[in-house]
Structure 1
Amino acid sequence: MSSAEVSLDFSSDEFLADPWHIYKELRQADPVHWSEAFRAFLVTRYDDVVALLADRQVVSGFPMRSSRRLFGPTLLDADGPRHRELRKLFTPLFAGASVKRLRTEILIPAVDQVLDSIEAEMGSMDDVEIEFMERVAVGVPYAMVTRLFGLPPEDAAWLRPRVLPLAGAIEFPATSLDTAVASKAELVDYLTDKLASRQEGDRMPFLDLVFPPGEPVDESLLGTATLFLLAGTETSVATIGKIMYAILAHDVELSALADSEYRDQVVRETLRWEPPSHTILRYASTDLNIHGVDVPRRSALLLSVGSASRDENTFSDPDTWRPGRPDQRMLAFSSGPHTCLGIQLALAEFDTLFERLSLRFGGVQRSGSLDGIRRGFWRLRERGHIFRRPDHLYVRMERRRAGRSEADA
C-alpha cells in the first residue's frame, strides 16, 4: 500500500497542508485510485480528467448526490437536452456583451464599495492592516452577487451564514445536510419575498432573467437560484484569496497589476497553480475501463482538477507559479458540456478587483504571523476541498503615493 493511499484524506492536516506530493504519487503509480473512504474512483492525470469531462458516458446527474438532495434538479446535475435547455436560459446574462455591461454596472461599484471602506479606515495614515479574506475576498463576491440579484447590499451579512452550510454540504467530507436544507429553505423564502415585492423599474438582472416580471414564479427554479448564490460567492472567495496569496508569495508589486495583459496572466496562472476546487464529481452511466481499471456502472468518479492542473506530462515545471507560461490551459471552471457558465463574469470580477487595487493603493505587504516556509516562500494553512481557501490572510495596504496619476481610478 502506497503512502498516498494511506494519506488520501481530504480533511487531514497532511493533505490540507500539501496535497501536491500525494497527487504526484497517485499520477505516477495509481492514476485511477479506488478510495474506500469515499467509495469512489479518484482520477488524477490531466488527459484522463479532460477526456472524462467530455465523455457522454460520464454523467453529472445522480439522484443521491448531495447537491441533488439539497438543491433539487438544477443545471449542475442535469445532462443531455435538459442541461442544454437550462444553459440556454442563463446564457444571455453571462455572454460577452452582457459581462461588459455588468462590469460597469455591478462589478466596479461592488469592488469600490469594499475598497472605499479600507481607504476610510486608513484615514490619514500611510497604511492599514486588514484581514484580506474577510474584508476583500468575502466582501467583493457578496457585494457583487447582491447587486446581480438586485438585493440590498447590506443583506450580504445575512446571506453568508446561510450560504456557508450549502457549501459545507457538498464538501469532502460533508457537513450536515439537514443544516444545509434548513438554510436553503430560508434563502428560498427570502428570494420569494423579494420577488413578491419587486417593483417596476427594479434592477434585478439574475432574478429578472430566471423569473420574468409579470409571470408566475417557477418554483422549480428556486433551487437553481440558491445554487447560483453559492456558485457566485464561495468559489470566488477562494479564488481571490489564492490570487492575493500568489502575489504576496512571489513578491509581485501591486503596481504591476495595472498592466491588463500581465494581470490576466496572473489570474489564469493562479487558477492553474492553486485551483479553488480540487475535485469534480461525476458518475459512470455504463461500465468503463480506464487504464486497465474496471469502473462499474453507477460508480462515482472524483475527477481531480487539483492534480490534473499540476500534471508534469502536461505542464512544464508544474509546481512553479509562472505567469505568461506558453500553455495556460486551466480546469478551474471545468471543461466539456458542463464548463462553468459564469467563467467570463468570474474572470471579469477578478480582473476588476486587482485592477482597482493597483490603481487605488500604493502597495500591499504580507503582515501578521506566517504559517511556515516551504519551497522558499511562505505558505498559509488552508481548509476545504471543493471550496479550498486560505484560513486567514493578513496584509498591510499602503497609501498611494502623492503625484501618481489616479485619473483611471
Structure 2
Amino acid sequence: MSSARVSLDFSSDEFLADPWPIYKELRESEPVYWSEAFKAFLITRFEDVVELLTDRQVISGFPMRSSRRLFGPTLLDADGPRHRELRKIFTPLFVGASVRRLRTEILIPAVDQVLDTIEAEMGSADEVDVEFMERVAVGVPYAMVTRLFGVPPEDAAWLRPRVLPLAGAIEFPATSLETALRTKAELVEYLKDKLADRREGERMPFLDLVFPPGEPVDESLLGSATLFLLAGTETSVATIGKIMYALLAHNVELSALADAEYRDQVVRETLRWEPPSHTVLRYASRDLNLHGVDIKRRSALLLSLGSASRDERVFADPDTWIPGRADQRMLAFSNGPHTCLGIQLALAEFDTLFERMSLRFGGVRRSGSLDGIRPGFWRLRERGHIFRRPDHLHVRLERRRAGSSKADA
C-alpha cells in the first residue's frame, strides 16, 4: 500500500540514529504513510498533525490500546465529557499560582538536592566528571515527583525500576505488557499504603488533590496516579538530556542561561528541534480523506510530532537549532483537547534546573567517550520513540570562580 522508499522501523539503528531524513522524505513523497508493521497511518506534516489533534472526530480512546490495558481509563484515553471531567480534577495543581508555589516548595529543593551531591563530589577540585543522564536528567524529575506526591525522596531508587516498564509497554515497539502490569500493581499498592499512612498536616500535593484527606480513596483514579508518575518523570528525563545535548553541541556557555529570556528560548527551541516524544496515537471515529488517501473509520493514526516539528513548510531552516526564532510554535506537549496538562510545571522544571546550574557552576563541556561523531557536528546515540532520549551523556562541570554569586538558598 506504500510506495515510499524509506525504512520505517522505529527500532532500527538507522532510524534511532537519525530519523530526520526519513521524516523529510515522507513529508515530501507520502505525508500519509501506511505502516504495515504497525497497521496504522503515519501523518508527518505540521498542518495535518495540528488539524487532526484538534479534530473532535479523531479520538484518543480505544479499548485495546496498550495504555488503556495498562492504566485503565485515564486522561490519556478519554474523550469528550469524561475527558473534561478528569482534566477538571487535576488542573488546579498545574496552572498559575500553583506552579509558582510548587517552584519554590518543590522544584528548587529537588534541583538543589541533585546539584548539592555533585558539588560535594567535586570537593576542592576545579571540576568533576558526571554521567549527566543518570545523575541529573534522571535525578531531578524523580526528586521532583517524590516531593509532588509527598513520598520520601529516597524512594526514587525504588520507583524508577517500576516506572520504566510502564514506559516500555507504550513504546514503539512495545516491551512486555505483562511485566508492566506487574510493576503497575506494585506502584498501586505503594500509593495505597502511602495514602493509608497519611498524617494530618503532611504535604502530599498531588495525592491530596486527587484523593482528598478524610474521604474514601477512589480506586478508579489510582491508574491515573501511576500514569502521572510516568508522565512526570520519563518525559522530563528525555527533555533535560536533550537540552544539555543542544547546549554542548552548539557550544553555549552555561553562564548565558542566567538570562531568563534566553533560557526560555533555549528550552522552547530544543523542544521543537528534538522533542522527547515523536508520536501520539489517535483513532479515526469517521471516514477521512487526507491528501487523497482514504482513511477508514477506526483506523489507527500515528501523528508524528517529531516530523511536524521540522516541517520546512512551517519553520525556516528547520534542522538548525535557533533559539529565539520568529516562529516558536511547538508540538512537544501535543495540541488540542489532549494538550499536556503539566506543560507549565514541566517548563518551570526545566527553567529552574538550568537557571540553578548557570548560577552554581562555572561551565560545562563534553567528557568521556562520544557517540556518533560526524564532521562539523556531534550527534548522540538515542533510543526510544515515545520517550526518545540519549543513552548516556558524559559531561565535565567546572567550579564557579571565586567572587561569582551563587544561587540563593
Interval containing the TM-score (normalised by the shorter chain):
over 0.9
Distance 1:285 1:404 in 2: 59
Check the 8 A contact 2:4/2:30 in 1, yes or no.
Answer: no
Name the CA shift for 1:127/1:290 in 2 (closer, same or farther; >3 Å). Answer: same
Determine whether 1:67 maps to 2:67: yes
Report how many aligned residue pairs link the two structures: 409
Q: Name the amino acid aligned to 2:245.
A: Y
Check the 8 A contact 1:359/1:408 in 2, yes or no.
Answer: no
**Residue 123 of structure 1: aligned partner:** 123
SS at match of 2:38: coil
Q: Name the amino acid aligned to 2:295.
A: V
SS at match of 2:180: helix
Q: By how many angstroms is 1:335 displaced?
A: 0.3
1:156-182: per-residue Cα shift (whole Å, max 9, x none)? 000000000000000000000000000
Check the 8 A contact 1:4/1:22 in 2, yes or no.
Answer: no
Distance 1:374 1:202 in 2: 52
**Residue 29 of structure 1: aligned partner:** 29
**Residue 174 of structure 1: aligned partner:** 174
**Residue 57 of structure 1: aligned partner:** 57
Q: Name the amino acid aligned to 1:173.
A: P
Distance 2:41 2:215 in 1: 45
1:5-47: per-residue Cα shift (whole Å, max 9, x none)? 4410000000000000000000000000000000000000000
Q: Name the amino acid aligned to 2:350.
A: F
Name the CA shift for 1:161/1:292 in 2 (closer, same or farther; >3 Å). Answer: same
Distance 2:271 2:374 in 1: 20
- 1:325-344 pair list within 5 angstroms: 325-344=325-344
**Residue 358 of structure 2: aligned partner:** 358
Distance 1:92 1:243 in 2: 28
SS at match of 1:315: coil
**Residue 17 of structure 1: aligned partner:** 17
Q: By how many angstroms is 1:403 displaced?
A: 1.2
Moved more, 188-197 or 398-407: 398-407
Check the 8 A contact 2:2/2:33 in 1, yes or no.
Answer: no
Check the 8 A contact 2:61/2:78 in 1, yes or no.
Answer: yes
Q: By how many angstroms is 1:369 displaced?
A: 1.0
Q: Name the amino acid aligned to 1:43.
A: I
Check the 8 A contact 2:6/2:22 in 1, yes or no.
Answer: no
1:370-405: per-residue Cα shift (whole Å, max 9, x none)? 113346211110000000000000000100000112
Aligned-pair RMSD on alpha carbons?
1.1
Q: By how many angstroms is 1:344 displaced?
A: 0.1
TM-score (normalizing by structure 2)? 0.99
Check the 8 A contact 2:114/2:140 in 1, yes or no.
Answer: yes
Q: Name the amino acid aligned to 2:127.
A: D
**Residue 305 of structure 2: aligned partner:** 305
Name the CA shift for 1:146/1:175 in 2 (closer, same or farther; >3 Å). Answer: same
Check the 8 A contact 2:60/2:76 in 1, yes or no.
Answer: yes
**Residue 183 of structure 2: aligned partner:** 183
SS at match of 2:396: strand
Determine whether 1:370 maps to 2:370: yes
- 1:58-137 pair list within 5 angstroms: 58-137=58-137
Check the 8 A contact 2:359/2:407 in 1, yes or no.
Answer: no
Distance 2:101 2:56 in 1: 35
- 1:253-268 pair list within 5 angstroms: 253-268=253-268
Check the 8 A contact 1:283/1:301 in 2, yes or no.
Answer: yes
Distance 1:407 1:320 in 2: 32
Check the 8 A contact 1:361/1:400 in 2, yes or no.
Answer: yes
Distance 1:408 1:2 in 2: 58
**Residue 243 of structure 1: aligned partner:** 243
Check the 8 A contact 2:273/2:318 in 1, yes or no.
Answer: yes
TM-score (normalizing by structure 1)? 0.99
Q: By how many angstroms is 1:284 displaced?
A: 0.3
Distance 2:103 2:9 in 1: 40
1:287-330: per-residue Cα shift (whole Å, max 9, x none)? 11111100011100000000000000000000000000011100
Determine whether 1:156 maps to 2:169: no
**Residue 146 of structure 1: aligned partner:** 146
Distance 1:22 1:291 in 2: 19
**Residue 276 of structure 1: aligned partner:** 276
Check the 8 A contact 2:137/2:236 in 1, yes or no.
Answer: yes
Distance 2:5 2:150 in 1: 47
**Residue 202 of structure 1: aligned partner:** 202
Check the 8 A contact 1:34/1:40 in 2, yes or no.
Answer: yes
